[in-house]
Amino acid sequence: MINAIVKCTKLQKLTPEVYKLSFKSKKIAKLSKPGQFLNIKISDSFLPFLRRPFSIYDINGDIVSIIFNVVGEGTKVLAKKNIGSNLDVIGPCGNSFPFEKIDNNKNLFIIAGGLGVAPFPFVTRYLQNYKKIETLLGARNKSFIVKNGLKNISVATEDGSIGKKGNVLDLLKSKKFKSIISNSIIFTCGPHKMMHAIAEFAKSKNIPCFASLECDMACGIGLCQGCNMELKNGSTKYILVCKNGPILETSQIKF
Ligand SMILES: Cc1cc2nc3c(=O)[nH]c(=O)nc-3n(C[C@H](O)[C@H](O)[C@H](O)COP(=O)(O)OP(=O)(O)OC[C@H]3O[C@@H](n4cnc5c(N)ncnc54)[C@H](O)[C@@H]3O)c2cc1C
Ligand code: FES
């Protein structure tokens, strides 16, 4: 993990709601693994005071990208960055998805809700020779669906503006996947309510499921104790999401 001042090389809109911001950093590009995140100081002023965490969306050569939508003060400022403006980035932070759990006979279900899609183009790039990926995207409407860099995509939206009308759990339970689900592993990221439902489904099918958790963070590197979370059971009852996560097996998570 390093702390670097980097220059914004591109800011583009992927959809009416979703921005992609890129910067150049040879070191961060080299160190990063899929699932890890960056803790970004959005501006030089005190507002917003705390850094904001963003999953690493993709790495292409030395170019590192994140995606976001505007939800509050920090993302509002980020959406107005100019090419060449400085960003103070700490990363890569946290753990990566557990690729050692995948073998070539298993199907990998990537299941994302809204901007929870953010870590998965990097996951897909990392697994480029892996054939058995199914990607399930769910969102409020088509403005939150980002398909770039993903494989074998099925989509559900709450308003039916693209894909099936419904949610990702409806997709997962659909006929299309019935015959392959028992020999699968799930990587998921999105709202906790959605991940909880996916986790319950995985439990009922007795298949492993790993979720990338979201919570408010401050330091992002295990110092402030601001992101501690109680586990369901086990010897270590509390963990720091920024340090021991953000990716955990769902059987450990107290949703
Ligand atoms: C490990 C990790 C990776 C993340 N990756 C991404 C990403 O790739 N793209 C992305 O857009 N967002 C991501 N997030 C969420 C992102 O960090 C927050 O959306 C961001 O901090 C909001 O900052 P803000 O100043 O704009 O909003 P704030 O002013 O801080 O908050 C505005 C509103 O959003 C709510 N909010 C803030 N943070 C979260 C959160 N984490 N979950 C749910 N609600 C929240 C607040 O309660 C408030 O209502 C990630 C979070 C974590 C922990
Ligand atoms: S955010 Fe500071 S310890 Fe996790």
Q: Is the pLDDT of residue 234 over 90?
A: no
3-state DSSP assignment of residue 39: strand
What pLDDT, on a 0 to 100 scale, did the predictor assign at position 235?
65
128: left (phi over 0), alpha (psi -120 to 50) or beta: alpha
Q: What is the pLDDT of residues 175-196, one digit of tens each?
A: 999 999 999 999 999 999 999 9
Ligand 1 contacts CB of residue 79 (under 6 A): no
Query: How close is the Cα of 83 to the center of ligand 1, in Å?
Result: 23
Q: How far, in Å, are 2, 8, 107, 252 from residue 241 at the CA level?
A: 19, 27, 27, 12
What domains, with CATH codes, occur in the chain? 2-92 (2.40.30.10), 99-212 (3.40.50.80)
Closest ligand 1 atom to the C-alpha of 227? 53
CB count in 10 Å sphere of residue 26: 12
What pLDDT, on a 0 to 100 scale, did the predictor assign at position 43?
85
Closest ligand 1 atom to the C-alpha of 93? 1
- The token pair at 59 is 């790495």
Ligand with an atom nearest the CA of residue 94: 1
Q: Residue 73, exposed/middle/buried by CB under 10 A (0-12, 13-18, 19+)?
A: middle
Q: How far apart are CA 217 and CA 227, in angstroms?
A: 6
- Do the Cβ atoms of 210 and 247 come closer than 8 Å? yes
Q: What is the residue with the minimal CA distance to atom 23 of ligand 1?
A: 74
Query: Starting from the edge strand earliest in sequence, which strands make up the sheet with 58-60, in order?
Result: 52-55, 37-41, 86-93, 2-13, 19-24, 63-68, 58-60
Q: How confident is the model at residue 169 (pLDDT cuts 50, 70, 90)?
A: very high
Which of 36, 7, 28 lies closest to 220, judged by CA?
36
Ligand with an atom nearest the CA of residue 17: 1
Mean pLDDT score of the chain = 95
Q: How confident is the model at residue 237 (pLDDT cuts 50, 70, 90)?
A: confident
Ligand with an atom nearest the CA of residue 216: 1
Ligand 2 contacts CB of residue 215 (under 6 A): no
Ligand 1 contacts CB of residue 73 (under 6 A): yes
What pLDDT, on a 0 to 100 scale, did the predictor assign at position 203?
97
What pLDDT, on a 0 to 100 scale, did the predictor assign at position 131?
83
Beta bridge partners of 86: 7
Query: How close is the Cα of 241 to the center of ligand 1, in Å?
Result: 14
Q: Is the pLDDT of residue 64 over 70?
A: yes
Ligand 2 contacts CB of residue 242 (under 6 A): yes
Q: How far apart are CA 6 and CA 207, in angstroms?
A: 41
**How do 247-249 and 153-157 pair as beta strands?**
unpaired
Q: Which of 214, 215, 221, 253 to mutate to test the pocket of ligand 1 (most atoms within 8 A of CB)?
A: 214
Q: What are phi and psi of 211, to 5 degrees?
A: -120, 140
| pTM for the predicted model, two decimal places | 0.95
